[in-house]
Amino acid sequence: MSQIDSLPPLRDVIETHELVARKALGQNFLLDLNLTSRIARIAGDLSNTDVLEVGPGPGGLTRGLLAEGARRVLAIEKDHRCLPALAQISDLYDGRLQVIEGDALEVNPLEHLTPPIAICANLPYNVGTELLIRWLTPKEWPPVWNSLTLMFQKEVAERITAQPGSKTYGRLAILSQWRTDARIALTLPPEAFSPPPKVHSAVVHLTALPEPRYPADAKVLERVVAKAFNQRRKMLRAALKGLAPDVEDRLVAAGIKPTERAEQVSLEAFCALARQFEKT
Ligand code: SAM
């Protein structure tokens, strides 16, 4: 295995710092530095970019990002046991790595970064979707970040990139594809991690669009989509009952048959429907 830096192999780092993986923190570590460099490259040219990394753990992806030339990495890690290993990386890379000990759900380190900003993370499974939704729904669009390169369970990655008609098509697909170009860039088997998780994983790359793909009010679109998929097997005229007294008329005005089900409706049609519900 080729070296990407002069630091010890990750297996040794984990042993030295006694980083026994904790399930409650979603700890499945990547040990192959060639693989973490490959993930960093999916994020694109980082030489002029500040990177936010959530959950660096022993620092495999962090080392990949720095070796691939990230201008600066700001990493937020909840597990204090990882801090000494991360401090060694910071020493080698001469101030390009800054680590915050904390919970990514409680602190928002994006404000400490200078655009252009990329977010890159092998996310803890228990908070991954929540963080993605927050990054996709800022107060203003375009967001402060240009791209997200994120590892998820494969099933979640498929929900992000799903197309109408598939079982995985739903709120996450609409939210992601409305404002970003989203693609699965890499799929990994459980053995790529230590300890191996039960399921396959996948890296999703999302690039922020300068403006949403179709016009709609974000809050109205979210409300309509959440209600539509809450009872995804029901016809839309029933699933959307309660949103307005004339649901059927609004569906027809948006070009949607009231008897259709949410999973058959395209993103464009959902945006047209949201515009109908913006009217009083
Ligand atoms: N990036 C490392 C890698 O690729 O090997 C570790 C990835 S591991 C799947 C997830 C990491 O996120 C762990 O280091 C865990 O301690 C950390 N973590 C879990 N919950 C967190 C939270 N709420 N905020 C910040 N870090 C968290």
DSSP characters over 104-134: TTT--GGGGS-SSEEEEEE--HHHHHHHHHH
Distance 123 CA to ligand 1 centre (A): 6
- Angle (nearest 5°) at CA 29 between 90 and 26: 110
| Residue-level pLDDT at 108 | 87
Beta-carbon contacts of residue 249 (< 8 Å; ≥ 6 apart): none
In the chain, the amino acid numbered 162 is A
Give the predicted TM-score (pTM) of the model.
0.96
Residue nearest ligand 1's atom 17 by CA: 55
- Tokens for 188, please give them: 């990994």
CB 187 within 8 A of CB 202: yes
Choice from 19, 30, 79, 152 to test ligand 1 binding pocket (greatest atom count within 8 A of CB): 79
97-101 and 72-77 strand pairing: parallel
Residue 130, CB half-sphere, CA atoms under 13 Å: how many?
9
| Residue-level pLDDT at 2 | 60
Query: Which atom from ligand 1 is nearest to the alpha carbon of 103?
Result: 24
Please count the residues of the chain. 280
Residue nearest ligand 1's atom 18 by CA: 55
CB 57 within 8 A of CB 79: yes
Residue nearest ligand 1's atom 5 by CA: 29
Choice from 38, 54, 66, 198 to test ligand 1 binding pocket (greatest atom count within 8 A of CB): 54
Residues with CB under 6 A from ligand 1: 25-30, 54-57, 60-61, 76-79, 82, 103-105, 122, 124, 127
> CA of 64: how far to CAs of 39, 53, 154, 187, 207, in Å?
8, 11, 22, 18, 20
* Nearest of 48, 47, 65 to residue 56 by alpha carbon: 65
User: Strand order in 180-188's β-sheet?
Assistant: 97-101, 72-77, 50-54, 117-122, 145-153, 201-208, 180-188
- DSSP 8-state secondary structure symbol assigned to residue 150: E
CB neighbours (10 Å) of residue 170?
19
Distance 108 CA to ligand 1 centre (A): 16
Helix (H, G, I), strand (E, B) or coil at 158: helix
Distance 173 CA to ligand 1 centre (A): 24
145-153 and 201-208 strand pairing: antiparallel
Q: Which residues of the chain have pLDDT under 70?
A: 1-2
* Nearest of 243, 238, 234, 240 to residue 261 by alpha carbon: 234
| Residue-level pLDDT at 3 | 84
